[in-house]
Amino acid sequence: MAHIVLAWELGGGFGHLSRLYALTKELLAAGHQITLIARHKEKACSFFSPLCQQLNNIRYVQAPYYKGHLPNHLEQTPAYVHVLFNVGYGHPDVLNRLVANWYQVLCELQPDMIITDHAPTALMVSRDMGIPRINFGDGFTCPAPEYPLSQLHESLSTDAIKSDERYVVEYCNKALAIQGISPINQLADIYQVNETFLMTLAELDHLGKRPQVFYGGIPESERNGSPPQWPDIHGPKIFAYLKVQKHLDSQLKSIAETGLPAVVYIPEISPRLQRQYSNTNLMLTNQPVHIGDALENAQLVISHGGHQLAAECLQAGVAQLHLPLHLEQQLLSNRCQQTGCSLTAPPSEFASVLPIALENLNSLSGQAKQLADQLHKTTTTHPLGRCMALIEYWLTS
């Protein structure tokens, strides 16, 4: 039995937990002891509670991360280096604490292997520990280890990005030196690992399809939630998963004006909105909806472009409309739109794009079903099988 650390540092969605949950089930079944270093510890404990009722070989630790607002926060992140800059890598004092805290946690745990899901600092500080290191996630959380790290949009030249990388690498090396950890030559060194498990579809790789890369597919998510209660109204069914943000009121109004039956899941919905839309064509809920059941009947899914839901829609052959709230969702939405299965728009433009989506629903749905048929023929039935084989290989090497 090996002690395996799973580390989740960045990102707040359930996609990370869903992936890690699926992997944890396999690792526990193989007899390993698991420590989950989680960005949101309480959320992780709740999400993983079904596993804890069966086995006690899992421990939870709070992940180090910076919770404040950095004074030099960048409004635009044209390259991956700027994503790291905004989570503390561009502020020496913050980075010193991140490196020190992650190093301390990993030294105390003494794992036999570390598997990270969007945890670059964990990868960086574990390079000298002599243990296998695996990066596990989607196209955004697993950038290719190249110099410079990926360009995300074309607002800066490659030379300018390399210059920014040099500053961040200097900050990293000063923080690493304090802990006695060997320096990096470039940010790509962080992602030089024993294995990278890209748990996504090639069509949804945020950073573009990569040659000679194995795409593992989507681990089956834990099917929590209640079956959707569709309003008894004739017409194509809409399922929406939305967050509370400044455009929510107008978005709900636009869906209501279609007159179509819609189930809208909003985790932190206010009682005011629930009362406002009671007895209408909208069924608003703050309780998780069983996604598998929703996709069996929905003709259109509206979301902000989270990876897990977008991938499940592609596999189910359901048309989508994305309203991305941040860069990661924007990149995925753009990739998905290229398949012809979805449309994307800024949240503020939802009222104008929803009629277009409904007008073209047959075309979007047809393309989605065609792609789903292709995916069923080419994707593996057990996405984590290859991962588990490689994990065992590195544990015994």
Question: Model confidence over 333-377: pLDDT tens digits?
Answer: 999 999 999 999 999 999 999 999 999 999 999 999 999 999 988
Alpha-carbon span 251 to 302, nearest angstrom: 10
Which residue is associated with the tokens 């409309």?
Answer: 321
- In a 13 Å sphere around the CA of 203, the CA atoms on its Cβ side amount to 22
What count of other Cβ atoms lies within 10 Å of the Cβ of residue 348? 12
Whether residue 383 is preceded by a cis peptide bond, meaning omega within 30 degrees of 0, is no
How would you list the strands of the sheet with 3-8, edge to edge? 58-62, 33-38, 3-8, 113-117, 133-137, 195-198
Residue 154 pLDDT class (50, 70, 90 cuts): confident
- In a 13 Å sphere around the CA of 299, the CA atoms on its Cβ side amount to 17
> Hey, is 310 helix, strand or coil?
helix
Percent of the chain that is helix, strand, coil (3-state, to 5): 45, 15, 40
Phi-psi region of 53 (alpha: psi -120 to 50; beta: other; left: phi over 0): alpha
Alpha-carbon span 301 to 260, nearest angstrom: 13
Residue 220 pLDDT class (50, 70, 90 cuts): confident
Biggest CA–CA distance in the chain, Å, is 66
The CA R_g of the chain, rounded to the nearest whole Å, is 22
Alpha-carbon span 342 to 300, nearest angstrom: 9
Alpha-carbon span 326 to 304, nearest angstrom: 9
Domains 3-217+381-396 and 238-378 belong to one CATH topology: yes
* CA-based nearest residue to 194, from 123, 138, 109, 267: 123
Which residues touch 323 (CB under 8 Å, ≥6 apart)? Answer: 242, 247, 251, 302, 303, 304, 305, 344, 345, 346, 347, 350
Alpha-carbon span 195 to 43, nearest angstrom: 28
Residue 53's pLDDT is 58
Domain 3-217+381-396 superfamily per CATH: Glycogen Phosphorylase B; (3.40.50.2000)
Q: What is the mean pLDDT of residues 100-106?
A: 98
Alpha-carbon span 348 to 353, nearest angstrom: 10
Residue 212's pLDDT is 78
pLDDT at residue 252 is higher than 90: yes
Task: Record the pTM.
Answer: 0.90
- In a 13 Å sphere around the CA of 296, the CA atoms on its Cβ side amount to 9
* CA-based nearest residue to 128, from 47, 189, 56, 212: 189
Residue 368's pLDDT is 97
Higher pLDDT, 269 or 12: 269
Cβ atoms of 263 and 289 closer than 8 Å = yes
* CA-based nearest residue to 81, from 159, 166, 5: 166
* DSSP string computed for 115-126: EEES-HHHHHHT
> Hey, is 177 helix, strand or coil?
helix
Any idea where the domains of the chain sit in the sequence?
A: 3-217+381-396, 238-378
**Contacts by 342-348, CB closer than 8 A, 24 or more apart:** 342/310, 342/313, 342/368, 344/305, 345/321, 347/245, 347/247, 347/251, 347/304, 347/323, 348/247
* CA-based nearest residue to 344, from 323, 370, 365: 323
Which residue is associated with the tokens 């075309």?
Answer: 363
pLDDT of 3-38, one tens digit each? 999 999 998 767 888 899 999 999 999 999 999 999
**CATH code, 238-378:** 3.40.50.2000
At position 301, the amino acid (one-letter code) is V
Residue 281's pLDDT is 94
pLDDT at residue 55 is higher than 80: no
In terms of DSSP H, where are the helices of the chain? 14-29, 41-47, 49-52, 80-84, 92-109, 120-125, 158-178, 248-257, 271-276, 291-297, 307-316, 327-337, 350-359, 361-378, 385-396
